[in-house]
Chains A and B, each alone.
Chain A
Amino acid sequence: DSGVTQTPKHLITATGQRVTLRCSPRSGDLSVYWYQQSLDQGLQFLIQYYNGEERAKGNILERFSAQQFPDLHSELNLSSLELGDSALYFCASSPDGQGNQPQHFGDGTRLSIL
């Protein structure tokens, strides 16, 4: 058990819809990362938050947004969903977001767009 909790485990929805993925980091970790895993793109970094503030952005679509709340949990919002958004979305956390710290991953949310 990594200590990182992601909900829900599975989401099935239709094109054009909006969903919210939730992540609770390990106790004491201030930094949260979101990654997308797909067959064609592999594992891609989306966005990072540190103590409530956005810290780094990757190849995240404008239809996607995220935030980190005062209790340090984070949510990833995906809107106007397209078939190509079907993927596994991972959340990871680390103590203070420095490069020498390993990230601990949740089990992911599998998003299926019909």
Chain B
Amino acid sequence: AQSVTQLGSHVSVSEGALVLLRCNYSSSVPPYLFWYVQYPNQGLQLLLKYTSAATLVKGINGFEAEFKKSETSFHLTKPSAHMRDAAEYFCAVSDLGSSNTGKLIFGQGTTLQVKP
């Protein structure tokens, strides 16, 4: 069965600093991985996805993530944080199992704080 672990429930960076949000997955088959962002009182917005094409995936709002099979990781990065990036970020893996239904298994989320 697939699972996701997000290291660090809270990450604080200064505006303009590098953002690194960590995600490790467990999967017995090649995974499909996603990063979502949730702003207060809103739903989840897709940032980017990995579906076995290029290992470096570029998403919206300047975010990107690199799939590293040897490390079972899919960390999210952004070179320069902006105040508007403050939100909760979720890493998710598609539970392929035996039926490939696409249901998502989420990590516990990481709250990103951006300090001026």
Contact = CB atoms under 8 A, between A and B. Distances in A.
Contact of A48 (B34, B36, B101): B101
B113 interface: no
B103 A42 contact: no
Contact of B42 (A4, A44, A56, A107): A107
Nearest to A42: B108
B43 A103 contact: no
B56 interface: no
A2 B95 CA distance: 22
* B contact face: mostly helix, strand, loop, or mixed: loop
Interface string B66-95: 000000000000000000000000100011
A90 B43 contact: yes
A48 B103 contact: yes
B26 interface: no
B106 interface: yes
Contacts of B90: 43
A90 B49 CA distance: 20
B105 A45 contact: yes
B100 A98 contact: yes
B43 A2 contact: yes
Contacts of B46: 102-104
B102 interface: yes
Contacts of A6: 43
A99 B93 CA distance: 9
Nearest to A103: B104
Contacts of B52: 100
Interface of B: 32, 34, 36, 41-46, 49, 51-52, 90, 94-96, 99-109
Q: Give the 8 A-B residue pairs with the shortest CB-CB distance, closest first.
A: A99-B94, A43-B106, A56-B101, A105-B43, A100-B51, A105-B44, A107-B43, A99-B102
Given A6-B43, A90-B44, A92-B104, 17 more contacts: A4-B43, A33-B102, A33-B103, A33-B104, A45-B95, A45-B104, A48-B103, A56-B99, A58-B103, A94-B102, A97-B101, A99-B100, A99-B101, A102-B34, A105-B43, A105-B44, A108-B43
